[in-house]
Amino acid sequence: MKIGILGGGQLGRMFLQEAISLPVKTKILDPQKNASCAHLCDEFVCGEFNDEDTVRAFGIDCDAIGIEIEHISNKGLEFLQQQGKKTVPTPRTLAIIQDKGVQKEFYRQNNIPTIDFYLAEKPRELTNLSFPLVQKTRKGGYDGKGVQVIKNAQEADKIWDIPSVIEKLCDIKKEIAVIITCDEYNNRKIYPIVEMEFDDKLNLVDVVKMPAEISKSAENQALEIAERLANSFNDSGIFAVEMFIDNEDKVFVNETACRVHNSGHLTIEACETSQFGQMLRILAGLPLGSVETVYKYAAMLNLVGADGAKGAADVDFLKEIAALPRTFIHWYGKDEVRPGRKMGHITVCANSSEELKNNIARVKKFSLEIKAK
């Protein structure tokens, strides 16, 4: 069969590393001719994945079409579904995810706990703003972009005057994620819950750790919410559900991705079947794989572009990191480093919590900010 993927970045690249092991052909669409996937797939098409006609033409000879980014032409995907192509996710689900306002309303309608919010077309025109607040653009945001905290009225001039979700700022004890995979027969597998630590400067995930160090109450809430959300979507695919735990140990959904996700990269080494292996199985119509852990403890650390970096990446430090035990390097094949750009990640694994902390500390002795040559 031929599997098409809309998007050719690092997520598609890690998917292709799984797909090469099965008798399938792969086709990738991406606007960058030197995309991370360009030289790894059977067929590469350089084109805009948010253009309806391009998506139609791309997918018409594919048996199944998946995504590695949400910002694609949903109308193009809808056309392909009407032609009998398997689309993962379905256009209905993708339409909910693409607009954070629609996504938040979906949570409200399906009794999924989420932070209090309201929608605003032109936030600067509102006279009843209550500070501090969190502004999220309804469309187009990713990797921390399109999200900002406005602390007080003196910062009101920073508000983006575009359609937004406005949330009250809550005290958050921890941020966690649950990845739940669903096939077309309603079989499901849930990975161990992970917790995420963020780089405040970049508003980007810095470290993801598995398992999350949370109470049994928070764990039960998170798993129950993930199941309820999957029931509400009633769709096949991979759902990465990002959640908050507040100081009273209550769990709220922040947002959901209907694709493989940064919070699941450590499953490549830490679990019997990675999130990318599950993506392949779902698209190819194969049974879901086991999510049992190979290593009980694991962490992922992002490699991002340093301030002021622009040009070919300097990767000299990788030799020292590669010498560390239970440490795995993933380079995304991007030909240019830029400030804050994800260039790769490192996964460390362990058989105890203490060993994991030690392994993270060893890696962090090196600068994980990628400089230019």
What CATH number is attached to the domain comprising 200? 3.30.470.20
Are 288 and 255 within one domain? yes
| Structural domain harbouring 143 | 116-168
Residue that finishes a domain, picked among 152, 168, 184: 168
| Residue 360 lies inside a defined structural domain of this protein | yes
Are 136 and 159 within one domain? yes
Nearest to 255 by CA among 25, 129, 70, 90: 70
How far apart are the C-alpha atoms of 33 and 47, rounded to whole Å? Answer: 8
CB-CB contact of 126 with 290 (8 Å): no
Are 193 and 330 within one domain? yes
Residue that finishes a domain, picked among 125, 141, 168: 168
| Residue 93 lies inside a defined structural domain of this protein | no
| Residue 107 lies inside a defined structural domain of this protein | no
Query: What does the block give as tokens for 227?
Result: 């199941």
pTM over 0.85: yes
Domain at 34, CATH number:
3.40.50.20
Write out the chain's pLDDT in tens, 373 residues: 999 999 999 999 999 999 999 999 999 999 999 999 999 999 999 999 999 999 999 999 999 999 999 999 999 999 999 999 999 999 999 999 999 999 999 999 999 999 999 999 999 888 788 899 999 999 987 767 889 999 999 998 899 999 999 998 989 999 999 999 999 999 999 999 999 998 877 667 889 999 999 999 999 999 999 999 999 999 999 999 999 999 999 999 999 999 999 999 999 999 999 999 999 999 999 999 999 999 999 999 999 999 999 999 988 878 889 899 999 999 999 989 999 999 999 999 999 999 999 999 999 988 789 999 8
Are 131 and 210 within one domain? no
| Residue 190 lies inside a defined structural domain of this protein | yes
Q: How many domains does the chain have?
A: 3
Query: What does the block give as tokens for 3?
Result: 């599997």
Give me the sign of the Cα torsion angle 256, 261, 266, 267.
positive
Residue found by looking up tokens 């900010």 in the block: 369
Q: In this predicted structure, what is the pLDDT of residue 196?
A: 96
Are 39 and 83 within one domain? yes
Residue found by looking up tokens 């339409």 in the block: 95
| Residue 29 lies inside a defined structural domain of this protein | yes
CB-CB contact of 345 with 302 (8 Å): yes
Are 196 and 293 within one domain? yes
Q: In this predicted structure, what is the pLDDT of residue 201?
A: 74
Are 57 and 198 within one domain? no
| Residue 109 lies inside a defined structural domain of this protein | no
Residue that finishes a domain, picked among 168, 192, 208: 168
How far lies 25's CA from each of 2, 42, 63, 274, 323, in Å? 5, 6, 10, 20, 35
| Residue 38 lies inside a defined structural domain of this protein | yes
CB-CB contact of 306 with 201 (8 Å): no
Q: In this predicted structure, what is the pLDDT of residue 176?
A: 98
Residue 62 one-letter amino acid: C
Are 178 and 319 within one domain? yes
Are 221 and 294 within one domain? yes
Are 141 and 44 within one domain? no
| Residue 359 lies inside a defined structural domain of this protein | yes
Q: In this predicted structure, what is the pLDDT of residue 115?
A: 95
Q: What single DSSP character describes residue 2? A: E
Are 304 and 232 within one domain? yes
Are 182 and 323 within one domain? yes
Q: In this predicted structure, what is the pLDDT of residue 205?
A: 84
